[in-house]
């Protein structure tokens, strides 16, 4: 199950990503927004991120104007590693090396075709593990208030 979230600026690209998920045969849950009315992205980021953090969804895709605000909000939820990406290389590497469980994109930054490719790359790339797990453990230790020295 893939969690989706956007604000009004991200809505057009989110609709394209929904079409991609349907083509890929992947189930999704859209946590809003559902209309083009101007809205604030944080609540939609939080809803989708909580679903991923709780294990109700495997991964999540977020879209706002830049991808930045919505990724910042998602990363405030415990257990979330959301990468804001505008290219396929970063989308691939954030899965392989960072085990990102969410990705964010800017609908005002990437075009529809690139946005779809970034989402597809994120969804089809697996975590490499190994030395990267140690680094992720360190990120999560910071989240848990540990001092890395
Ligand atoms: C909305 O105008 C815009 O600020 C928002 O979508 C996002 O880009 C914020 O980071």
Residue 79: what pLDDT? 97
Q: Ligand 1 pocket test: which of 70, 71, 75, 104 has the largest number of ligand atoms within 8 Å of its C-beta?
A: 70
Q: Over range 52-77, report the average pLDDT.
A: 98
Strands (E), 7-148: 28-30, 59-64, 82-84, 102-106
36 is a domain residue: yes
| Percentage with pLDDT > 70 across the chain | 100
Q: What is the pLDDT of residue 32?
A: 97
19 falls within a domain? yes
Which residue, 125, 132, 131, 126, is CA-closest to 97? Answer: 132
Domain presence at residue 149: no
The reply to whether 97 belongs to the active site is: yes
Instruction: Please report the atom of ligand 1 found closest to the CA of residue 10.
Output: 6
**Which domain, by its residues, includes 95?**
2-143
- 61 to 3, 48, 137, 146: CA distances (angstroms): 6, 8, 22, 28
- Average pLDDT of the chain, as a whole number: 98
| Per-residue model confidence (pLDDT) at position 26 | 98
Q: Average pLDDT for residues 127-141, to the nearest whole number?
A: 97
- Tens digits of per-residue pLDDT, 65-111? 999 999 999 999 999 999 999 999 999 999 999 999 999 999 999 99
Q: Which of 57, 64, 82, 84 is catalytic?
A: 64
Task: Return the pLDDT at 18.
Answer: 98
Question: Among candidates 10, 1, 119, 122, which has minimal Cα distance to 51?
Answer: 1
Q: Which domain CATH number covers 49?
A: 3.40.1400.10
Cβ of 12 closer than 6 Å to ligand 1, yes or no, is: no
Residue 6 CB less than 6 A away from ligand 1: no
pLDDT band at residue 9 under the 50/70/90 scheme? very high
Residue 41 pLDDT level (bands cut at 50, 70, 90): very high
3's enclosing H/E stretch is strand 2-6
Whole-angstrom distance, CA of residue 108 vs CA of residue 67: 9
Answer whether residue 136 is part of any domain.
yes
Quick: pLDDT tens for 109-124: 999 999 999 999 999 9
Which two tokens mark 86? 């505008």
For residue 148, is it within any domain? no
Q: At 117, give phi and psi (nearest 5°).
A: -65, -40
pLDDT at residue number 118: 98
State the total domains in the chain: 1
105 has which bridge partners?
63
The helix or strand, by DSSP H or E, that contains position 141, with its residue range, turns out to be: helix 131-143
Cα distances (angstroms) measured from residue 64 to each of 19, 20, 140: 18, 18, 25
């Amino acid at each position: 199950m893939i969690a989706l979230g956007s604000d009004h600026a991200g809505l057009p690209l989110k609709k394209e990503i929904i079409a991609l998920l349907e083509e890929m045969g992947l189930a999704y849950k859209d946590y809003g927004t559902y209309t083009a009315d101007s809205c604030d992205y944080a609540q939609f980021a939080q809803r989708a991120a909580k679903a991923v953090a709780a294990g109700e969804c495997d991964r999540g895709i977020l879209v706002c104007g830049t991808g930045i605000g919505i990724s910042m909000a998602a990363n405030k939820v415990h257990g979330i590693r959301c990468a804001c990406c505008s290219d396929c290389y970063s989308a691939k590497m954030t899965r392989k090396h960072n085990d990102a469980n969410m990705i964010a994109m800017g609908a005002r930054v990437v075009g529809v075709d690139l946005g779809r490719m970034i989402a597809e790359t994120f969804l089809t790339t697996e975590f490499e593990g190994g030395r990267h797990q140690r680094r992720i453990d360190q990120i999560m230790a910071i989240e848990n208030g540990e001092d890395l020295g």
